[in-house]
Structure 1
Amino acid sequence: MSTTQPDAQSGAHADVIHDIGYRHYDGPRLGRAYARRSLYAQSLRGAYGLGRSAKSKVMPMILFAVMCAPAAIIVAVAIGTKMTKMPIEYTRYAIIMQAVISLFLAAQAPQSVSLDLRFKVTPLYFSRPIERIDYVAAKYAALATALFILTAVPVTILYIGALLAKFDFTDATSGFAKALVAELLLSLLYAGLGLLIAALTPRRGFGVAGIIALFTLSFGAVSSVQAVASVQGSEGAIAWLGLFSPITLIDGVQTWWLGASSSYVDGAGPSSAFAGCVFLLVLLALIGGTFGLLMSRYRKVGLS
């Protein structure tokens, strides 16, 4: 650091350099990839309360246990009663347990991004080397991974139980593989929608309420109208109504593309190849669209 002091003889000002102890960093610079991986790992651990206080672990761990408990019970009953196949399809498990998945998402999506907005630390992430796309991609991937773990572990328990019970290996493996594909699509869709809602407000409570409202109200409205349409014999309307709720959208995609049976009213899945393609395209558009909207949101945050 340099300062200017007067020269006693000439009266002119002379520059003096003071050593205040700063040292140049000569160590390795790990770059964007390392920062992105670190943010991903930290966010994934945080989704289950790891590395946080004991209080933060209670909710995610309880929900994880609730997701796994029915699968363990089903396996015990299937083995104990000597069934010849599982009483539930692998692809239906996450659909049936959708309320638990929505609660997990509502609790963890705001935790992942809302607190950064509230305490105004998000712009700090965008200082080099990390950029907006790194932040969004890491948060998105971390929450999607957390949801995939939440939904895939119970299905894995069912599959292991099927092997222990010596059920048909081909059928069990085929159903398990289809379920993993369905859980991956569900995780990507839910993570995108949850993060988008949570990123709109720095208030965690508002994010929680918004996510619960989206998944609960949309499913309630769609399933109710589908039930009415089923009673009235409107077969065509039943299938298309599934586009307007995240969980019925997933159900429709796995019904047509993965050969799963619909978990709701008869005829709820796509009734033709065209309808099946529309369901898949809408799902992919929502996944890509939520990522794009998150990028737009954080572009504004970075400028604020």
Structure 2
Amino acid sequence: MSADQATHPDTSQIHNIGYRDYEGPRLGRGYARRSLYAQSLRGAYGLGRSARSKILPMLLFAVMCVPAALIVAIAVATKSTELSVAYTRYAVVTQAVIGLYLAAQAPQSVSVDLRYKTVPLYFSRPIERTDYVLAKYGAMVSALFILTAAPLVVLYVGALLAKMDFAHQSAGFGQGLVSVAVLSLLFGGLGLVVAALTPRRGFGVAAVIATLTITYGAVSTVQAIAWQSDAGSAVTLLGLFSPITLIDGLQTAFLGAGSSFPGGEGPSAGFGVVYLLVILALILGSYAVLMRRYRKVGL
């Protein structure tokens, strides 16, 4: 025994402070993934957050639905047999509202976790990077689908109450749902990719807005120039370079929708396949980029 040990004998003790092993069910990755999805979806509408956080998403939701209610009211008052705005056209007409919602909520979903370095806390649980990306992507797509499908439901219910043709309205409603489902997948992926590139929420908001509005403005302008120059084929080709014109071209080619392209002529069914392939590539590419992004987020 050393002199120091003799002078200062070991007095350490082990205390039982009452901790017990967890004996409940182990819910695993699936439960964690579903919980993260539900929490992210609720957060996209401000649920479970402060009252101030609810204002913008709920306001934008109302802005999406109120015009649909007015369209129905006008149709009923004039005893019209057709809605003034087709189901497949509604999301294109209200694209600015959709873009603003995405710009506000995509950074809230992912940028905040990156900024405050809470992502490693998720990965310390029984959850993998794949689970995190799937939950966030699924929640953003679901939130966008709710935003874009709700006014279509208003239009459809109103059309049936106005005793418009059931078969025709049901077919249009179904086409509209397919269109907004594809839009939600495309916009949700692109919005999350742009937002995940920076931990700064403000930068993410500006970047998402720029991605959607600048591309649409540039493509629309060049399309108009090409149409005036009698380059009709270029108009269709240019539509591949903007998210909203991609959706416009796809539903024109396959869903019988009218086109907002100059001249009102969208892509044919043959060229519509190219639109579909580009959309699928962007959706899958967005998922791949998100997976790569979160592989770099170390523990």
TM interval, short-chain normalised: over 0.9
Amino acid of the residue matched to residue 229 of structure 1?
Answer: A
Partner of 1:56: 53
Aligned match for 1:299, one of 291, 295, 299: 295
Aligned-pair distance for 1:13?
7.0
Aligned partners of 1:7 and 1:14 also within 8 Å = no
Q: Which position in structure 1 is the counterpart of 2:272?
A: 276
In the aligned structure 1, how far is the partner of 2:224 from the partner of 2:263?
Answer: 9
Aligned residue identity for 1:300: K
Residue type at the aligned position of 1:126:
F
Deviation, structure 1 residue 230: 1.0
Distance (Å, rounded) in 1 between the aligned partners of 2:273 and 2:112: 38
RMSD: 1.7
Cα-to-partner distance string for 1:23-48 (whole Å, 9 max, x where unaligned): 21111111111111111111001000
1:7–1:13 contact (8 Å) kept in structure 2: no
- Give the structure 2 partner of residue 113 of structure 1: 110
Q: 1:231-268, CA deviations, whole angstroms, 9 ceiling, x for partnerless residues? A: 11101100010000000001011110111110232255
Match in the other structure for 1:289: 285
Q: Secondary structure at the match of 2:263?
A: coil
| Alignment-derived partner of residue 25 in structure 2 | 28
> Does 1:40 find its partner at 2:37?
yes
Taking structure 1 as the reference length, what is the TM-score of the superposition?
Answer: 0.93
Match of 1:227 in 2: 224
Q: Secondary structure at the match of 1:266?
A: helix
Give 1:140's match in structure 2, choosing from 115, 137, 156.
137
- Kindly, what percent of the aligned residue pairs are identical? 64
Q: Which residue among 234, 237, 240 is the counterpart of 1:243?
A: 240
8 Å Cα contact 1:226-1:268 kept in structure 2: no
Q: Where does residue 170 of structure 1 map in the other structure?
A: 167
Query: 1:3 maps to what in 2?
Result: none
Q: 1:96 Cα shift?
A: 0.3
Rounded to whole Å, the distance in 2 between the matches of 1:93 and 1:136 is: 29
Distance apart, 1:270 and its partner CA:
1.3
- Assess, with a 3 A threshold, how the Cα gap between structure 1 residues 160 and 7 changes in structure 2: closer, same or farther: farther
Structure 2 residues not aligned, in runs of 5+: none
Q: Is the 8 A contact 1:115 1:202 kept in 2?
A: yes
Structure 1 stretches of 5 or more lacking a match?
Answer: 1-5
Name the residue aligned to 1:187. Answer: 184
* Structure 1 ranges of 4+ moved more than 3 A: 11-17
The number of residues matched between the two structures is 295
> Residue 83 of structure 1 corresponds to which residue in structure 2?
80
Structure 2 Cα separation of the partners of residues 202 and 22 of structure 1:
38
Q: TM-score when scaled to structure 2? A: 0.95
| Distance in 2, Cα, partners of 1:28 & 1:137 | 24
Conserved? CA contact 2:254–2:269, under 8 Å: no
Counterparts of 2:41 and 2:231, CA distance in 1: 44
AA aligned to 1:285 is: A
Question: Could you say what secondary structure the match of 1:261 adopts?
Answer: coil
Q: Which residue number in structure 2 is paired with residue 211 of structure 1?
A: 208
